[in-house]
């Protein structure tokens, strides 16, 4: 199905709210010893940051030192605050303490699933526990909360930090606890317990009826929690907690528009299913849900096999060309580091710099499988960079990320498959957009990307490796001296990878169905009529008769617990990714002008507007599509052959 896979750990379930809050406070991403070489190709720099411990004693020492140092600094901060509660300095001091703590401990959330040695993984788990303990202690420190409340921010940066820190205490229930509201804590614990049961039922393959009962109980508990906080429903509360720019009613309005587009997107699929049925039964007028699934499965089997030409290129070359091309188009230079600690065999470290050769970020690329390694593809922050302040100037040093995934292995040789290449671009999209919006020196406030645009960019990047331009670059012969054009413009199976293909139309439609169902459940105060709602939504979108009332969705973790109400970002992300795709399709996916336009209007420009995409044409889902029409015409006017606005740095992506 089209459900996204997410990682759920017990700590993540119990401390999800706190962790999200603290990342918002000190890691605003809403996600060197250097060579003087500023060319964009993949070269090398001499050394990278030394932030990953090499042994169990090193890990344990860092954990103990961080706990002690953080505790001492918080104690001193509270003491100084009680003596002068109007001092705005406490706002920056708390931010610095939290940033330093996260710079030491936040990485263990990721490293616990990546260290090759089980002893190192176990030691990293202690770092996770230590960080959660510190956050829990801060959340319950009523004196510190009062100090922050009493502070008087002066600069724009202090005002922004002040709002984020108050948000942290609000999310972690400090304000409610201060009023002695024990009912909220009981409700939150009950919600966590219900969600853990829900997850356990999924893992143990229990009857879905048990999870349906839990959904009803959870809806009632969520409604009570929202009421205590003064919100009409759970979605409004989640929107506040997550910092969304839309509340529940705005999300409902957006989903209504999305629903109409989903109906248009899926019409060709329903038409083809009905035409196939009429071959055997000319009088038939109905389509059933299972017939749609059968048709989509058959369509997938009919598609041309994976493009073997791209997979014959060495893995290292594909990685280099992928990193180089995206780095170039987003006005960065990315270089491999020579001297650094490899926490596992095959891990590489890269430095990302801008046109002034200022380091913007470091990232480890971990693509080779090994025993004990986390199997999911992910881009995670492991070090925030040291956060310093000089008067009214915010100074943020370069953050460090890990991009991790697993490339298939065939007879001892690692090879990129279709899925792996798509996921690599997905993660690189996350990486470079987060780097682009990371706060630098002297900025008034950090740039926050609305969550739906974070999803949109990563989804858009999934389409890129299957465009004619990127296929030409990625699969060019090893001995080439420049980017080869036109390699994939004669009948290759590329349009089947576009957002307007039948496969992606169905993905968008089904994402919309799930999002609408999730929204109804999250806004319910109980009495979840799951089957009835699913049938109604499915029929409205597809026009098909429902025989399966969505029972398989009761094995999806996002519909339960504190995670409910957020699935709207997926169809919205699908929509915006499709609009971006169409913009580039008209000008060419290597067109630097379009890349700069997208970047400045959506990510970093002072006049950026989140309505920018909506002012462009809606995606071309109303155009007729035939499942066999999977070729790209070898037309000289096709954007892939128009290289007038291609940046020169792409020519160096060897």
CATH number at residue 122: 1.20.1050.40
Q: Report whether 596 contacts 559 (CB < 8 A).
A: no
Instruction: Pull the structure tokens for residue 124.
Output: 């990293």
pTM equals 0.82
- The mean-pLDDT minimum among 162-171, 195-204, 232-241, 279-288 falls in 162-171
Give rounded-to-5 percent helix, strand, coil for the chain: 55, 10, 35
Please name every residue paired with 328 in a beta bridge, in sequence order, or none if there are none: none
Other beta carbons less than 10 A from residue 87's beta carbon? 15
Q: Give the integer Cα–Cα distance in Å for 565 and 342.
A: 39
Please check whether residue 377 lies inside any domain of the structure: no
Indicate if 199 and 162 belong to the same structural domain. yes
What range does the domain containing 256 cover?
248-307+505-565
Please check whether residue 109 lies inside any domain of the structure: yes
User: What dihedral angle (degrees, nearest 10) is formed by the CA atoms of 640, 643, 644, 645?
Assistant: 80
Q: Give the integer Cα–Cα distance in Å for 591 and 645.
A: 5
Please check whether residue 78 lies inside any domain of the structure: yes
Q: Give the integer Cα–Cα distance in Å for 469 and 330.
A: 16
pLDDT tens digits, 565-602:
989 999 988 988 998 998 888 888 998 888 988 888 87
Which is it for strands 359-366 and 348-353: parallel, antiparallel or unpaired?
A: antiparallel
pLDDT tens digits, 330-376:
999 999 988 788 899 999 999 999 989 989 999 999 999 998 898 88
Indicate if 220 and 270 belong to the same structural domain. no
Instruction: Pull the structure tokens for residue 207.
Output: 């009857």
Q: How many domains does the chain have?
A: 2
Indicate if 168 and 209 belong to the same structural domain. yes
Tokens 């009495």 identify what position? 527
Indicate if 227 and 285 belong to the same structural domain. no
Kindly report each contact of residues 122-125 with a partner whose C-beta sits within 8 Å and lies 24 or more positions away, as own/partner: 123/56, 123/59, 123/60, 124/59
Residue 132 has a pLDDT of 87
Indicate if 219 and 303 belong to the same structural domain. no
Please check whether residue 54 lies inside any domain of the structure: yes
Please name every residue paired with 413 in a beta bridge, in sequence order, or none if there are none: 410
Per-residue pLDDT band for 415 (boundaries 50, 70, 90) equals: confident
Reply yes or no on whether the pLDDT at 247 is more than 60: yes
Indicate if 33 and 133 belong to the same structural domain. yes
Task: Round to the nearest angstrom and report the end-to-end CA distance of the chain.
Answer: 37
Indicate if 203 and 108 belong to the same structural domain. yes
Indicate if 252 and 120 belong to the same structural domain. no
Residue 481 has a pLDDT of 46
Residue 654 has a pLDDT of 74
Q: Report whether 360 contacts 332 (CB < 8 A).
A: yes
Other beta carbons less than 10 A from residue 93's beta carbon? 19
pLDDT tens digits, 147-176:
888 888 888 888 888 888 887 887 665 555
Q: Give the integer Cα–Cα distance in Å for 355 and 357.
A: 5
Q: Which of 517, 544, 565 is the last residue of a domain?
A: 565
Q: Which of 242, 259, 285 is the last residue of a domain?
A: 242
Indicate if 151 and 252 belong to the same structural domain. no
Please check whether residue 640 lies inside any domain of the structure: no
Please check whether residue 81 lies inside any domain of the structure: yes
Indicate if 146 and 204 belong to the same structural domain. yes
Indicate if 254 and 146 belong to the same structural domain. no
Burial class of 137 by CB neighbour count within 10 A (0 to 12, 13 to 18, 19+): middle
Burial state string for 280-315 with b = 16 or more CB within 10 A and e = fewer than 16? eeeeeeebebebbeebbeebeeeeeeebeebbebeb
Which is it for strands 44-47 and 378-383: parallel, antiparallel or unpaired?
A: unpaired
Per-residue pLDDT band for 213 (boundaries 50, 70, 90) equals: very high
Instruction: Pull the structure tokens for residue 456.
Output: 């949109």
Strand ranges for 202-347 from DSSP E: 333-339
Q: Which residues, at least 6 apart from 407, have a Cβ–Cβ distance to it below 8 Å?
A: 315, 367, 368, 369, 414, 415, 416, 417, 420
**Residue 277 vs residue 50, higher pLDDT:** 277
Percent of the chain scoring above 90 in pLDDT: 34
Residue 490 has a pLDDT of 37
Please check whether residue 197 lies inside any domain of the structure: yes
The CA-CA-CA angle for residues 94, 95, 97, to 5°, reads 65
Indicate if 123 and 266 belong to the same structural domain. no
Other beta carbons less than 10 A from residue 159's beta carbon? 16
Three-state SS at 363: strand
Pick the closest to residue 304 from 74, 163, 492, 121 (CA basis). 492
Residue 303 has a pLDDT of 61
Please check whether residue 256 lies inside any domain of the structure: yes
Pick the closest to residue 350 from 276, 427, 293 (CA basis). 427
Task: Say how many CA atoms lie within 13 Å of 355 toward its Cβ.
Answer: 5
Mean pLDDT of the chain: 79
Q: Which of 517, 535, 565 is the last residue of a domain?
A: 565
Q: What is the DSSP letter of 113?
A: T
Percent of the chain scoring above 70 in pLDDT: 76
């Amino acid at each position: 199905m089209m459900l996204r896979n997410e990682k759920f750990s017990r700590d993540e379930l119990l401390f999800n709210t706190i962790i999200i809050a603290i990342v918002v406070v000190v890691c605003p991403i809403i996600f060197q010893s250097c060579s003087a070489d500023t060319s964009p190709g993949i070269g090398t720099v001499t050394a990278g940051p030394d932030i990953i411990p090499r042994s169990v004693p090193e890990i344990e020492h860092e954990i103990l030192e961080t706990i002690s140092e953080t505790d001492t600094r918080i104690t001193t901060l509270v003491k100084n605050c009680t003596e002068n509660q109007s001092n705005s300095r406490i706002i920056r001091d708390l931010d610095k303490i939290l940033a330093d703590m996260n710079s030491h401990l936040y990485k263990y959330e990721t490293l616990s699933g990546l260290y090759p040695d089980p002893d190192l993984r176990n030691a990293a788990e202690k770092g996770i526990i230590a960080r959660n303990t510190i956050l829990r202690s801060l959340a319950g420190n009523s004196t510190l909360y009062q100090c922050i409340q009493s502070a008087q921010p002066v600069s724009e940066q202090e005002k922004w930090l002040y709002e984020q820190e108050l948000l942290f205490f609000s999310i972690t229930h400090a304000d409610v606890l201060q009023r002695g509201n024990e009912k909220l804590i009981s409700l939150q614990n009950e919600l966590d317990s219900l969600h853990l049961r829900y997850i356990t039922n999924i893992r143990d393959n229990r009857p879905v009826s048990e999870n349906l009962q839990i959904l009803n109980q959870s809806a009632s508990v969520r409604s009570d929690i929202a009421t205590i906080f003064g919100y009409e429903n759970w979605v409004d509360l989640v929107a506040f907690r997550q910092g969304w720019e839309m509340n529940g009613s705005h999300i409902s309005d957006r989903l209504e528009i999305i629903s109409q587009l989903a109906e248009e997107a899926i019409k060709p699929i329903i038409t083809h299913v009905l035409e196939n049925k009429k071959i055997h039964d000319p009088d038939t007028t109905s389509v059933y849900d299972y017939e749609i699934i059968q048709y989509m499965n058959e369509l997938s089997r009919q598609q041309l096999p994976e493009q073997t030409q791209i997979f014959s290129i060495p893995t290292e070359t594909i990685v280099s060309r992928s990193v180089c091309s995206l780095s170039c188009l987003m006005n960065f230079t990315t270089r491999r580091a020579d001297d650094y600690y490899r926490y596992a065999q095959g891990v590489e470290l890269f430095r990302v710099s801008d046109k002034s050769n200022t380091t913007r970020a470091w990232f480890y690329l971990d693509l080779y499988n090994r025993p004990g390694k986390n199997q999911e593809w992910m881009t995670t922050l492991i070090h925030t960079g040291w956060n310093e302040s000089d008067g009214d100037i915010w100074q943020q040093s370069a953050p460090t990320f890990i991009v991790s995934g697993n490339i298939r292995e065939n007879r001892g040789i690692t090879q990129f498959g279709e899925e792996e290449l798509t996921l690599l671009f997905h993660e690189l999209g996350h990486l470079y957009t987060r780097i682009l919006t990371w706060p630098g020196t002297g900025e008034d406030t950090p740039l926050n990307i609305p969550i739906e645009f974070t999803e949109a960019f990563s989804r858009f990047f999934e389409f890129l490796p299957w465009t004619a331009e990127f296929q030409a670059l990625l699969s060019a012969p090893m001995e080439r001296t420049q980017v080869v054009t036109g390699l994939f413009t004669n009948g290759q199976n590329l349009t089947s990878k576009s957002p307007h293909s039948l496969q992606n139309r169905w993905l968008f439609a089904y994402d919309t169905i799930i999002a609408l169902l999730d929204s109804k459940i999250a806004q319910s105060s109980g009495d979840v009529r799951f089957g009835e709602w699913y049938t109604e939504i499915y029929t409205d979108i597809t026009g098909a008769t429902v025989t399966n009332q969505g029972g398989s969705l009761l094995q999806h973790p996002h519909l339960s617990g504190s995670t409910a109400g957020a699935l709207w970002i997926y169809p919205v992300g699908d929509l915006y990714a499709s609009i971006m795709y169409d913009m580039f399709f008209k000008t060419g996916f290597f067109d630097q002008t379009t890349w700069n336009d997208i970047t400045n209007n959506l990510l970093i420009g002072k006049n950026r507007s989140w309505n920018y995409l909506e002012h462009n044409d809606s995606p071309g889902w109303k155009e007729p599509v035939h499942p066999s029409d999977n070729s790209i015409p070898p037309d000289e006017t096709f954007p892939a052959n128009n290289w007038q606005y291609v940046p020169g740095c792409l020519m160096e992506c060897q």
